[in-house]
Structure 1
């Protein structure tokens, strides 16, 4: 594999609205991020991905962009962004912004001009089609529920939105649209961005016959994924995108990709792939049922199998971006350990399994202190538009209000969007004002300030773990070494080897709360990391406590 500057980096995602509020209005901002750069550097982060801060009406928390060239006043100014880039460079930190180019906001200038003349120049910037007998052009259902088409007032024309109705899809078949987007991307790269996290990129290619598919709900609609799986030719768009933008700046790109064809994985993240990497969503895909409100609770053995298969798929291809949680998922501690999310050992065990895999680890704000899901008492406390839509879909599917709210508490994207818990002070130290979204009530127990003072805390363990991954003595093994499953026959033992020409390292975890013993097949030289204070080993047997994870440097034969 050709070595790239981002291979040995640890990435950290910031959800700016909930990270740190510097001006007391209850909403996180760019100056809040600037003030925490030293914290991120000390943690061990290198690449900082900032979720959208562009101008937006915030119908989908900034993923509905009304002006790609400016910063929304709620987050600050373009000058604040320039200062953030400057201060990050001083600390050798790399800044990524979100790149949302499947759709824009219905308040964007292009769409407003399209509404004035749907069949004119700007109408061709979007997918606008005539309805059929007073109904939408076809039966596609958007990702947030309901028809993927909305009528243009006063006409029989409809525009396509694969997400919310305020997020019209951009017409990538139009060269003028692509040219405008490339100009915008390069403008930001010229300002000093290191690259982008690329949102929902598989959606840019449509099945252009716009035909109906078999309905999968009683309302006669079908999942938009039916169309995406049939669409052909996305590679031409993505190659052109890369050649006209990212390649020119040696930029790092991480893509959000669902529904890609398995045989095309190499085209996405291979040696000459469209992107530097893409998120590994294999666990999330397995956890989600046919509907958002159906959630499969995976067993440790199922999780192990999924991760091992994912590692095997990419072994000769490239590096995935490994995640436990992000702004669109529940908190990892709650999702993986639904019955006991507050167990510190299970949180640190997950960290070991994630960060020492082959791939680029992406942490999400608050993960490093073990933040957990919030408990909403009423749907009125929920801000997330997708959660509200799916709550309604659950009611329509026959769930009671109590059951629907329980599902929202498990699945809502707001679980990861509650404010960062900096301290046990008012509002978790996030703001002096009224937080835009409720603070998790456990902030007095789970917060950074108390964990910084505790060598045995989740935060302190994350620092040690990241330091180990970057240690010059072991870095090549963790970054470029092979990944090989170990002790697969043992139930709830999650173990693998990382091996290079110089070293062989074993990562071994007991993925259950009951203790286990394991007869080692290798001799070891020393313990590199342990999420317990002690390690019991006798007569070739390793005695593992509940959720104990150890990293062992093995003796090479």
Structure 2
């Protein structure tokens, strides 16, 4: 396997608004990140994926960009950014920027001009259509509820926004738009950044003619995804981006690709290097969805989870590269979702989930606080939420009668994006050490027990366990390049797989239950002198026949 730095790396995602506030205004900032670089160096990560820090009116917490080449005032200045970049590089940490180019803010200069008149030079930078019979141009629904079209009084036409009405979609079929995007990307590369995480990049090409989307019984609007994901020109445009910008620098690129199939991922992240290095797929994140929509509080079936994860491991092997993640800024906390966040089992299940993911092939991503086993937050009322998606979904689903109010509150508590966005828990002081001011969103009250300062002081903490997993990936080539095989696919309690190289074999065993589960080692591991690489119960050896303890996990190498 060809060695490239991003295959060997471990990435840490920072959501700046919630990471560390250096100036006491209740909002995390760039200088706050710089203050914590030594913490990240100690953890051992190689790359920071930085969620957007560009100028933005913050309708969608920075994913609505009004100026791609300026820093949001709440976060600091360009000088602050350049200092953070330099200090990160001094510590051997690379910086990957969030690239949000499916849409801009409606306050971006391009859109301000575009909506002035039908003949404005910027008109075709966005997707404008006449209405049909006094209604929207088609039946597409926005990902943030409501129609995907907004009527603009100034020119009496509709513009497309697959997200908020303040996030109009760019028209990527216009070569001028692509030129402007590539110029901006090149500007950041020349500044010295190390790559891009590309937000909803699979949506930049829409189906010809923008046909109606399918409408399910529980939907008020049609689902645009068949016509707004993996469109007819998406690979053409990404290959052009690669030729114009990406291939000129030593970058890491990962595309957030909603609706991506394995076959499409093999194109996006092909090892031939013509498009991106890797993709984020969401198939495993959709296993606990409700009927026809995201919102539910049902638990994932372990056999289903194993089938999905294993498909992506085996079918991308030697064709494309995997990204590995449980958490990000759009997902609830994994220990509350796939693990067990009760005090007796929180750390054990957090370590088990980390073992399960980090021993697979691909580049692992850690979301801030995941390395501490941070949990979902106890939001009590709708007023506790800040996320536009959760708030809009509550009103739409309850007012339409799809879900009653108590059930919908239960669902957004469980699946809402704000679970990932509560402040990072640094210590047991005021506001978890995040801010001397009033935080922009509630601090999880369990910060007294769950915080970085406490975990750094303890060798058996979740932090120290993540640190060990990161070291293992750098030491054991088999973790990076070995083949993957799933064992016990039908087990409701155990996730067991092997990794194999020419010289070694690795057995990974993870129990997803609090129950004791008997397990017999495969024959080849019984007969060999197996080395315990990692164990969340600190075992030095594993018996041939073992009864696994609650949420036990270990990795054995022969």
TM-score computed with the length of structure 1 as normaliser: 0.95
**Matching residue within 518, 535, 538 for 1:530:** 535
Distance in 2, matches of 1:123 and 1:70, equals 23
2:514 matched residue in structure 1 = 513
1:107 matched residue in structure 2 = 107
State the Cα deviation string for residues 279-317 of structure 1 (Å, max 9, x = none): 242211222231122354212222222211221121231
- Superposition map of 1:458-537 within 5 A: 458-471=462-475, 474=476, 476-488=477-489, 490-520=491-521, 521=523, 522=525, 523-534=528-539, 537=542
CA drift at 1:131: 1.2
Name the CA shift for 1:326/1:230 in 2 (closer, same or farther; >3 Å).
closer
CA drift at 1:343: 2.0
Distance in 1, matches of 2:360 and 2:213, equals 39
Name the CA shift for 1:451/1:229 in 2 (closer, same or farther; >3 Å).
closer
1:188 matched residue in structure 2 = 188
- Superposition map of 1:302-341 within 5 A: 302-337=304-339, 340=342
The more displaced of 112-121 and 348-357 is 112-121
Are 1:131 and 1:137, in contact at CA under 8 Å, matched by a contact in 2?
Answer: yes
Gap regions ≥5 residues in structure 2: none
Name the CA shift for 1:36/1:67 in 2 (closer, same or farther; >3 Å).
same
Name the CA shift for 1:133/1:338 in 2 (closer, same or farther; >3 Å).
farther
1:417 matched residue in structure 2 = 421
State the Cα deviation string for residues 361-396 of structure 1 (Å, max 9, x = none): 000000000000001111011100001111112202
Are 2:287 and 2:304, in contact at CA under 8 Å, matched by a contact in 1?
Answer: no
State the Cα deviation string for residues 16-47 of structure 1 (Å, max 9, x = none): 00000001111000000001111101101101
1:6 matched residue in structure 2 = 6
Distance in 2, matches of 1:470 and 1:119, equals 56
2:368 matched residue in structure 1 = 365
Name the CA shift for 1:154/1:121 in 2 (closer, same or farther; >3 Å).
closer
State the Cα deviation string for residues 140-192 of structure 1 (Å, max 9, x = none): 11111111100112442010001100000000010001000000000000001
Are 2:94 and 2:194, in contact at CA under 8 Å, matched by a contact in 1?
Answer: yes
Are 1:280 and 1:320, in contact at CA under 8 Å, matched by a contact in 2?
Answer: no
- Superposition map of 1:154-553 within 5 A: 154-216=154-216, 221-228=221-228, 231-273=231-273, 274-289=275-290, 290-337=292-339, 340=342, 343-395=346-398, 396-471=400-475, 474=476, 476-488=477-489, 490-520=491-521, 521=523, 522=525, 523-534=528-539, 537-538=542-543, 540-553=544-557
Are 2:332 and 2:414, in contact at CA under 8 Å, matched by a contact in 1?
Answer: yes
Are 2:195 and 2:252, in contact at CA under 8 Å, matched by a contact in 1?
Answer: yes
Name the CA shift for 1:534/1:90 in 2 (closer, same or farther; >3 Å).
same
Distance in 2, matches of 1:477 and 1:230, equals 33
Describe the SS at the equivalent of 1:33.
helix
Describe the SS at the equivalent of 1:179.
helix
Name the CA shift for 1:250/1:548 in 2 (closer, same or farther; >3 Å).
same
Name the CA shift for 1:510/1:219 in 2 (closer, same or farther; >3 Å).
closer
CA drift at 1:103: 0.3
CA drift at 1:458: 1.0
Distance in 1, matches of 2:229 and 2:62, equals 27
C-alpha RMSD of matched pairs (Å):
1.7
Distance in 2, matches of 1:313 and 1:245, equals 29
Distance in 2, matches of 1:347 and 1:459, equals 10
1:80 matched residue in structure 2 = 80
State the Cα deviation string for residues 513-540 of structure 1 (Å, max 9, x = none): 11222221223332111100346744x2
Distance in 2, matches of 1:188 and 1:249, equals 11
State the Cα deviation string for residues 217-255 of structure 1 (Å, max 9, x = none): 577620111323583232111110111111110211011
Distance in 2, matches of 1:331 and 1:42, equals 23
Distance in 2, matches of 1:338 and 1:400, equals 27
State the Cα deviation string for residues 78-108 of structure 1 (Å, max 9, x = none): 0111111111111111001100000000000
1:49 matched residue in structure 2 = 49
